[in-house]
Amino acid sequence: MTIPLTRDASHSGLPLKGGGEIAILGIVNITEDSFSDGGRYLSAEAAIAHARKLAADGAAAIDLGGAASNPDAKPIAPEVEIARLAPVVVALKRDGIAVSIDTFSPAVQRWALGEDIAYLNDIRGFPEPALYPALAASPAKLIVMHAVDGAATRVEVAPNEIMTCILTFFERRVAALTAAGIARERLILDPGMGFFLGSLPETSFAVLRGLSKLKRAFALPVLVSVSRKSFLRRLTGRSADESGPASLAAELFAAEQGGLYPNPRSGCAQGCSGGP
């Protein structure tokens, strides 16, 4: 997964044409069934070691996910997700590494906010108003993601309709979050990619081409998560392990679309790894 982060004195980045900079978010999947690396970092020891390597390699923050979100992923209980995340969060915070938690479970989100994390990342875009007071009380930045069905899906979504859907979604969700007292400058927008936009590769490419429109519409940081995703694999005929170059090309294209902050997700030579 690739994520844009706002510019901050604690984040090093690469300058973009037209201003802004790229900040790298390293992704660690502490799961059994993430499509690219499920099971590889399921133990706390493996996850901590990988996160430390990503931070040493230049990641501005580490995004930890304890539950996979691809269409074939099995649901897990919030207490299992927390048990996977907790020792890794403790170790990384002790090291002074900025931590992001990627979860769509309200129970896990409440736990994460209590851990004083730097970022909270929700593939459903924070749809639960009951959580908004806790979000408003926290200083964490919020990664607000769009997904056509609120999750990864294999439905077909027309490429010529997707940007309208995305803009409408963010117009409503940003309004709801700010009305609840959540500062607008804490928000980072993620339009979704791959199966979060359905099964058609053309839909993801349409969103890549429309990123500058999204940036202009809201004037907020935009997260772009393309790394090794299905639409790139279908285009190139390559496996997830062989999709680093295609991921990098898509990220470079995204970086030129209006001062985005795309960020490679993990540990191959190109700095890329898998996504949902």
In a domain, 274, yes or no: no
Q: Which letter does DSSP use for residue 228 in this model?
A: T
User: What's residue 155's pLDDT?
Assistant: 86
In a domain, 241, yes or no: yes
User: What's residue 20's pLDDT?
Assistant: 59
In a domain, 2, yes or no: no
Range of the domain at 111: 14-255
In a domain, 9, yes or no: no
- Number of domain units in the chain: 1
Look-up of token digits 């392990």: 241
Judged against a pLDDT cut of 50, whether residue 53 lies above it is answered with yes
In a domain, 272, yes or no: no
Confidence class of residue 35 from pLDDT cuts 50, 70 and 90?
Answer: low
Helical residues (DSSP H) of 149-271, grouped into ranges:
162-179, 201-209, 211-218, 230-236, 244-255
| pTM for the whole structure | 0.84
CA atoms of 109 and 133, how far apart (whole Å): 12
DSSP string for residues in 99-141: EEEE---HHHHHHHHHTT-SEEEETT----GGGHHHHHH---E
Judged against a pLDDT cut of 70, whether residue 12 lies above it is answered with no
In a domain, 262, yes or no: no
- Element holding 190 (H helix, E strand): strand 187-190
Question: Taking a C-beta distance cutoff of 8 angstroms, is the pair 47, 30 a contact?
Answer: yes
- pLDDT-above-70 percentage for the chain: 83
In a domain, 57, yes or no: yes
Q: What is the CATH number of the domain that holds 104?
A: 3.20.20.20
